[in-house]
Amino acid sequence: MTVMTQGRAERLIDANLLEALTVPARQGDYPRESRAFVRIDTSLRIYWHTLFDICPGLLELSSPDGLSIFRPFMAWAADEGLSLNWTYYLWVDVWLRRSPFAGRVTPELRLSLIGASAARWATGDRSEAGGIVLSGLDAADLVCGWKARSIDAGRQIERIELEDPLPAAPEPFGFFTVPGGELDGGFPGWTPIPR
Amino acid sequence: MKIGFNFTLGETLPLVRSLLASGRIDYVELLIDNFLAIPEEELAAGFDVPVGFHIMFSKFIENDAVALDSLASRLRRLIDRMSPLYVSDHVARFTHDGRQLYHLAEIDYAADYGRVRERVDWWQQRLGRRLFLENYPSILDGGHDAPAFFERLCRDTGCGVLFDASNAVCAHLNCGVPLEAWDGIIDAASHFHTAGYNLSILQPHLVLDTHDRALSDATMAFLESRRERFDTPGATMTYERDDNFDELDIASDLDRLRALFADDAVAPPVERAAP
Ligand SMILES: [Fe+2]
């Protein structure tokens, strides 16, 4: 917010807005016509697009602008201190299942969210792992994300149905990573997803 | 001036190959940390022109040492094998309180200097190479501190700046950082970026580094006004595009850059056989 003090505008730097860049409600702390307001809006829009461009099925549940999902989810995520890392979509799924939208969440929509998180891991993770396995809709239904293994290919997302289900994953989701590009190293046990 | 194009992986490969075949680009800038699961041999054999390494998500100022050590050892193998024209990284905030920022934030150049300096020293040592750090497309007033910050950081750590000319134009338009403030940095730099930018959806408009359209007149004028400062022996200029991959549009920008930096201003692009 630009405040006039002793005849000159007070300096506002990007770091002053860090608390607000992920929290829709904090945008209202700044006047609508200020650059800070637009800066925060620009930041929030990227979270919006990251969610609804990848899982457009969410827009069928919410108002067409998605805000009846986006705003309460982001507020909850802020309260919970969620990292909004590759697990972003998984926590949206968790929130949806506890929300007024719960009765309308289809398995297809849930799978699109789980697949989106697997894809985000596969493009963003910088560890030595080559793939991730996520618990899907149940213990026999896994979603895998594989990092790109060729310069002309992208990451791959794969849904695997097991004949012999793995032990039940921790709630709300479990994951494990695999070194290479295949699910051949056995089951190392589930890790609960990070917050 | 060597002219290059950024390659982030996957679907734009045919475009990159076509720009190489038409002689519009001399090298490819790889967003190198996207390529770490690809077999080294395949990556090294991927292009028969030089490459630049642009590190995007090391988060070397924030990340923990174990994760960075692992990343550094893998990057180092590729650096040794492929001898990139440069290795670059970013000075920006990727997280706040453990929460990921999807639109990277600008650091507080005054308050964060000591930490950044220490991290740059350490990260250069881990990578075994001089690092070139990219300037941020400033939105708010902190941008005024950026030129002096980078000059001091280069003096103290021996790093260089990967100077993004259109980011400086964004900072100029957003918060009035004079373009002349960068002249010392441009004189000392050899590696450059440039790209199109766009306005924010809401007003008052901010100028955002979107990499989704043609170079602006202001960017072209900035490059022209300092042609000799930019174009020194060994200099590279990467044209960045991350959206709207319209080949004609991209080719026309690359031709403008090539014409601007040509020794003889009318030299047409050289045809090169497709690999
Ligand atoms: Fe850049």
Contact B71 A126 (CB under 8 A): yes
Q: Which of B59, B57, B53, B75 is nearest to B6 (CA)?
A: B53
**pLDDT score, position B56:** 97
Q: What is the pLDDT along chain A (195 residues), one digit of tens a residue?
A: 444 444 346 899 999 999 999 999 999 999 999 999 999 999 999 999 999 999 999 999 998 999 999 999 999 999 999 999 999 999 999 999 999 999 999 999 999 999 999 999 999 999 999 999 999 887 789 999 999 999 998 899 999 988 888 999 999 999 999 998 788 778 999 999 999
Q: Which residue of A has its CA nearest to B46?
A: A151
Chain A, window 62-101: residues with a beta carbon less than 8 angstroms from a chain B beta carbon? 81-85
Q: Which residues of B touch A82 (CB under 8 A)?
A: 99
Residues in chain B: 275
Suggest the residue from A2, A38, A87, A182 to mutate for an interface test with chain B (most B CBs closer than 10 A).
A38
* Best to test chain B binding among A76, A126, A152, A182 (most B CBs inside 10 Å): A126
On whether any CB of chain B is under 8 Å from the CB of A7, the answer is no
Complex-level ipTM: 0.92
How many Å lie between the centroid of ligand 1 and the Cα of residue B134?
7
Cα distance between the two ends of chain B: 23
State if pTM tops 0.90: yes
pLDDT reported for residue A164: 87
Chain A residue numbers with beta carbons less than 8 Å from the beta carbon of B98 are 81, 83
Distance A171 CA to ligand 1 centre (A): 41
Extract the residue ranges of chain B whose pLDDT is less than 50: 265-268, 271-275
Per residue, the 3-state secondary structure of chain B, as one string, reads CEEEEEECCCCCHHHHHHHHHCCCCCEEEEEHHHCCCCCHHHHHCCCCCCEEEECCCCCCCCCCHHHHHHHHHHHHHHHHHHCCCCEEEECCEEEECCEEEEEEECCCCCCCHHHHHHHHHHHHHHHCCCCEEECCCCCCHHHHHHHHHHHHHHHHHCCEEEEEHHHHHHHHHHHCCCHHHHHHHHHHCCEEEEECCEECCCCCCCEECCCCCCCCHHHHHHHHHCHHHHCCCCCEEEEECCCCCCHHHHHHHHHHHHHHHCCCCCCCCCCCCCC
CB-CB under 8 Å, A43 with B140 = no
For residues A37 and B271, give the distance between their C-alpha atoms in angstroms, rounded to a whole number: 49
Q: Chain A contacts of B76, Cβ < 8 Å?
A: none
Reduced to 3 states (helix: H, G, I; strand: E, B; else coil), residue A123 is helix
Q: Do A83 and B9 touch (CB under 8 A)?
A: no
Residue B207 dihedral angles phi and psi, to the nearest 5°: -100, 120
CA distances from A162 to A97, A147, B263 (A): 25, 22, 64
Q: In chain A, which residue's Cα lies nearest the Cα of B47? A: A151
Contacts of A126 (CB under 8 A, 6+ apart): B33, B36, B57, B58, B67, B71
- Please answer yes or no on whether A14 and B105 come within 8 Å at the CB atom: yes
What DSSP element (H or E) covers A67?
Answer: helix A67-80
Does A6 contact B at CB distance below 8 Å?
A: no
CB B1 within 8 A of CB B236: yes
Distance B111 CA to ligand 1 centre (A): 24
CA atoms of A131 and B148, how far apart (whole Å)? 43
**B contacts of A35 (beta carbons < 8 Å):** 139-140, 174, 204, 206
Q: What is the pLDDT of residue B184?
A: 98
